[in-house]
A = this chain, B = another copy of it.
């Protein structure tokens, strides 16, 4: 039996899988992403999480034929390095992540890819996009990532296509974590939503969001905290999520007007946690902006769920 590893490196958590030849998940593990330290600490946490998944699968890490990594930041796949990973601790510079992981995993070959691209590729190969001629993957999490797949292949452009989160939905609008104004992510990114909630709470607005965060011992407003606050009818949470849905509908419709893709796949931590109800709400929010509203694209939830990124990473070494 030949087994491979996959690591999805996120700003909040590290998700790992070990899969077999048919991409069936034999083992999986999850760890919190270190909030302090630097790239080497993150690499060690990644290796530890992969060892956990291998243990669950009943294989030794050194028996893996390879390990793929889906990472944020600027990936240089041939050099095996990652730079400018702003959601990770002290990771502005370029770090040789592939070599660090190979060291930590007893010599296993490691291949790097972009986190959003590998998650999109996984949905195309194994998930909700298997039958699609063209699709847009929309990953609604800390940020809003996008993957463009045309005729079955990821479109990278000059190396960095898919920044749907930084399409402008409102000229002169809210400040985005990227520093620009009016980006989709400024309204729909969980990071921007938390910053806005915190500011309004500090200004005296009532909300249970931060109470729930402390009660569940979370360092930030996770997707689960947002879902709980919505379920409790928290007014501020409802308002901010409504704004996010509106912005997603606008931005995704703009992208569809440009590309006329057949399928839109909604994934990401918040997208998956809020699930079917919000998939339908995003599809509805697109309608007023779709140029061809007589044949809207098919809006689907990512089928591989939370493991999609890690499974897609494992496809890098298939």
Contacts and interface: CB of A to CB of B under 8 A. Distances in A.
A259 B167 contact: no
B259 A168 contact: no
A255 B157 CA distance: 12
Interface string A167-195: 11111110000101111000000000000
B159 A254 contact: no
A150 B250 CA distance: 24
B247 A158 contact: no
Nearest to A261: B157
Interface string A139-158: 00000001010100001111
A84 B8 CA distance: 48
A180 B288 contact: yes
Number of copies: 2
B250 A163 contact: no
Contact of A258 (B162, B169, B260, B295): B162
Contacts of A161: 258-260
Given A158-B262, A259-B161, A169 B168 contact: yes
A246 B158 contact: no
A28 to B, nearest CB: 32
Given A160-B292, A168-B289, A258 B255 contact: yes
Contact of A171 (B146, B150, B164, B246): B246
A23 interface: no
Given A171-B246, A171-B247, A158 B254 contact: no
A295 B157 CA distance: 13
A61 B161 CA distance: 46
Contact of A168 (B157, B181, B253, B297): B253
A158 B258 CA distance: 11
9 contacts: A155-B259, A158-B262, A158-B295, A160-B292, A161-B260, A169-B171, A170-B171, A180-B288, A258-B259
